[in-house]
Amino acid sequence: MLVAGSHGGIIAAYLGAKAGAHALILNDAGLGKDRAGVAGLFYLERIGMAAAAVDCMSARIGDGADMLARGVISHANAFASLCGVAAGQACREAAERLREARPPRAPPPPIGEGRYRVAEGPPEVWALDSLGKLLAEDAGRILVVGSHGALLGGRRESAPPLVAAAAVFNDAGLGADRIGVSRLPVYDECGIPAAAVDCMSARIGDGRSMWATGILSHVNSAAAARGAAPGMRVQEFAALLRAR
């Protein structure tokens, strides 16, 4: 039984099942556009795997220990419900109940992440479904990343080093302790404009959705100095940076 700090989208659910977990608790990431923040729970129903998500405002995304300590369940799939897991329950209690869950009846259906050039340069704009798709050649590009903008475990050193022209993340519902945008000030230190989109405007874990419909909810000082502001569309943000 695994309590993981990741968002409850399909890719995190897939990776949890692939790793051999027999039940899973994730973070609902503010639910978000098209309920992307809990889509993984229902993806796992297809293989008979119990899964639940905690309310992002009850515990920090990217911090499994915090989720176990103070998380409150917001969503449970059918197989988790059969174990007695329900909304409003403490994550620790839900985890205990899920220790009795039956293992999934099949391997998880394959899911892939992608990276897509969405605008020509200079600089080019690339949409990445997660930071796991980051490559060395992304240096100097504007990156629109489906990952949340949280520091993992709240640790500053967990912010991936970037040499990008700019970066955009998902705010994951902002969450407990405003963790969903905690990565943005770190990039100020190296002068990289960084922003986060409102989770309700674009699907977490989907770089192309972020590019197509994302609306900025938070910007760091470096981005603000370039004219970026909350309420701006991601495509407008990119155009602003490419015009200077």
Q: What is the phi-psi region of residue 187: left when phi exceeds 0, alpha when psi lies from -120 to 50, beta otherwise?
A: alpha
Residue 171 contacts residue 217 (beta carbons within 8 Å): yes
The pLDDT of residue 214 is: 98
The pLDDT of residue 203 is: 98
- Residue 244 banded pLDDT, cuts 50, 70, 90: low
- Residue 148 banded pLDDT, cuts 50, 70, 90: very high
| Mean pLDDT, residues 121-141 | 93
Q: Give residue limits of the domains in the chain.
A: 2-98, 115-242
Burial of 135 from C-beta contacts in 10 A (0-12 / 13-18 / 19+): exposed
Average pLDDT value for the chain: 95
- Residue 112 banded pLDDT, cuts 50, 70, 90: confident
Of the given ranges (45-49, 103-107, 160-164, 215-219), which has the lowest mean pLDDT? 160-164
- Residue 13 banded pLDDT, cuts 50, 70, 90: very high
Q: With 80 as the cut, is the pLDDT of residue 169 above it?
A: yes
Q: With 80 as the cut, is the pLDDT of residue 135 above it?
A: yes
| Mean pLDDT, residues 163-173 | 96
The pLDDT of residue 28 is: 98
| Mean pLDDT, residues 227-235 | 98
| Mean pLDDT, residues 94-106 | 96
Q: With 90 as the cut, is the pLDDT of residue 242 above it?
A: no
- Rg of the chain over all Cα atoms, to the nearest angstrom: 18
The pLDDT of residue 121 is: 80
Q: With 70 as the cut, is the pLDDT of residue 176 above it?
A: yes
Percent with pLDDT over 70 in the chain: 100
Place of tokens 């993340």: 169
The pLDDT of residue 160 is: 74
| Mean pLDDT, residues 43-60 | 98
The pLDDT of residue 236 is: 97
The pLDDT of residue 114 is: 95
Q: CA-CA distance, 93 to 27, in Å (whole number)?
A: 16
